[in-house]
Chain A
């Protein structure tokens, strides 16, 4: 049995909000168990939200995650507006979609360039990649900045946006304010298309998902900021039935809850969205996907980097489309009328489906909150991938095996409590 533990010392500055660990048990030459131990914040926030005024939910939940605050905000206002059937103007919905596109562009560019690409190119990390291929990394950072520019202009700032509220926005930008953004996004579209061509040339290990897929679906467009649910079996169900299909169970090794869809392991995120909603991608995004060798569905987790790149093209294009037909909403927000009720909200965070449920009283105070983040939904599928990857590579030394496991986890960019030091690997041979 080999077991390593890492100690944090003064030299290791704390982004230490959680710690990831992977425990693998090998018995008689086969993998008996693979447990990914992750810590995630929604449970704390669920408790923290109880007794708070509904208006606070948007600001509080945005603090759950520094990478996907808009996702948390969006699912929060979707749920509250669902409870009270708040009529939201199409122009406000468009502005929300623009904001969310900013988060997709920013998060996808960060993942593709700084985290995922080095794996395929044989670099230990993005720094080594930047030393060798500086223009490439600069392109990735420029793409990310274009996403941040949307977040800053529409959201008020790049992390934890302050402009959105239940019902809409505190202030809607003018068309003149959005114009320079369009110019920047036209360059970003070139960068995004170049990104697809770049990642398409990588070598991808063979691995096929063997689980159900689930994504938000909207009849009008590739679902990002609102919709209901669709799954691989093409069954669809309304968001209010989410908890009838998705159940969570606690496991001893993790503070994360494991979610199952109708009793089965399932996956949300880029591969699920792409495979379930492919027909709704723009012609440009579909063409880029085809040229990159993708078909109408994608089941290889290592190819998620290509899917993210295609989604980035789509998000930039969508942002340009929304700005191009922008009609400033006036007033910038609908005024919600509180009442006792229960609401459900879903949206597609960059890394997967995010569900919120709120129970509100007559004064608009939150009495109960349930937040099911993408990572707890994806955890069983990630562990299944790990089991299969480790089984096929038991001959590797610990270091090489750890690296392969990290790579497998990186396919999903799990939200691990907004920062976790990965990865302590324990391989137990029995």
Chain B
């Protein structure tokens, strides 16, 4: 089983890149591949990827300094930040929690696209929109390999 997971919020400009990639993958993936859009809440991620041979996450990332649209691929899990609200739990927390509970996928690949704007608004900025077909192709190549 392969799980492709777009994390983000389409009402926060470039944070919508994950959901946009999932939308563009519809009708392009073979049977046995699940497509999920989520806000990244850890227990939902666990449910989505538990038992998967491969999980690919697509998310936006803010960098300092930033090259909007640049695509990063990693199989390493980033360090989480301290959280004071359930609204702030994220992917790193999910991966660590999954490990503690033996609910990790066999392999986890993370695609992070550098964002220009994560403020309120609808639609990707041009640099991130331009990266969309490249990320989509990369994710498709990932499930074929």
Point out residues on A near B: beta carbons under 8 Å: 6-17, 20, 41, 43-45, 48, 63, 65-67, 107, 110-111, 114-115, 125-127, 130-131, 134, 137-138, 141, 144-145, 148, 158-159, 406, 409-410, 413-423
Contact bitstring B1-45, A, C-beta under 8 A = 1, else 0:
000000101111001000000000000000000000011111110
B83 and A115 contact, CB distance less than 8 A:
yes
Given A8-B63, A14-B59, A15-B90: A126 in contact with B85 (beta carbons within 8 A) = no
Cα distance A251–B20 in the bound complex, in angstroms: 35
A13 and B90 contact, CB distance less than 8 A:
yes
A9 and B64 contact, CB distance less than 8 A:
yes
B89 and A141 contact, CB distance less than 8 A:
no
* Residue B56 is within 8 A (CB to CB) of chain A in the complex: no
CB proximity to A under 8 Å, residues B52-80: 59-64, 72, 78-80
**Chain B residue contacts of A44, Cβ below 8 A:** 11, 120-121
Cα distance A9–B78 in the bound complex, in angstroms: 10
Point out residues on B near A: beta carbons under 8 Å: 7, 9-12, 15, 38-44, 46-47, 59-64, 72, 78-93, 96-97, 99-101, 110, 112, 114-115, 118, 120-122
A406 and B112 contact, CB distance less than 8 A:
no
A421 and B88 contact, CB distance less than 8 A:
yes
Q: Which residue of B lies closest to A137 (CB)?
A: B101
Q: Which of B12, B47, B80 has most A Cβ within 10 Å?
A: B12
**Chain B residue contacts of A6, Cβ below 8 A:** 81
Tally inter-chain residue pairs, CB-CB below 8 A.
167
B100 and A130 contact, CB distance less than 8 A:
yes
**Chain B residue contacts of A45, Cβ below 8 A:** 11
Cα distance A137–B114 in the bound complex, in angstroms: 34
**Chain B residue contacts of A107, Cβ below 8 A:** 86
**Within the complex, which residue of A12, A134, A141, A419 is in contact with B40, where a contact is CB–CB below 8 Å?**
A419
**Chain A residue contacts of B81, Cβ below 8 A:** 6, 12, 421-422
- Can you list 19 contacts pairing A with B, beta carbon distance less than 8 Å? A8-B61, A14-B118, A15-B89, A41-B11, A45-B11, A48-B11, A110-B41, A127-B93, A144-B43, A145-B47, A159-B38, A413-B86, A413-B87, A415-B87, A416-B87, A420-B85, A420-B88, A421-B81, A422-B82
Shortest beta-carbon distance from A209 to chain B in Å:
19
Q: Which residue of B lies closest to A8 (CB)?
A: B62
**Within the complex, which residue of A66, A416, A420 is in contact with B39, where a contact is CB–CB below 8 Å?**
A66
Shortest beta-carbon distance from B49 to chain A in Å:
14
**Within the complex, which residue of A115, A409, A413, A419 is in contact with B90, where a contact is CB–CB below 8 Å?**
A419
Given A10-B72, A419-B87: A127 in contact with B100 (beta carbons within 8 A) = yes
**Chain A residue contacts of B91, Cβ below 8 A:** 13, 15
B39 and A418 contact, CB distance less than 8 A:
yes
Q: A45-B11, A66-B9, A66-B41 are in contact. List 14 more A-B contacts (CB 8 A).
A: A8-B63, A10-B78, A13-B7, A13-B61, A13-B92, A14-B61, A20-B88, A114-B97, A144-B43, A414-B85, A416-B87, A419-B87, A422-B82, A422-B85
Cα distance A248–B79 in the bound complex, in angstroms: 38
**Within the complex, which residue of B7, B78, B87 is in contact with A67, where a contact is CB–CB below 8 Å?**
B87
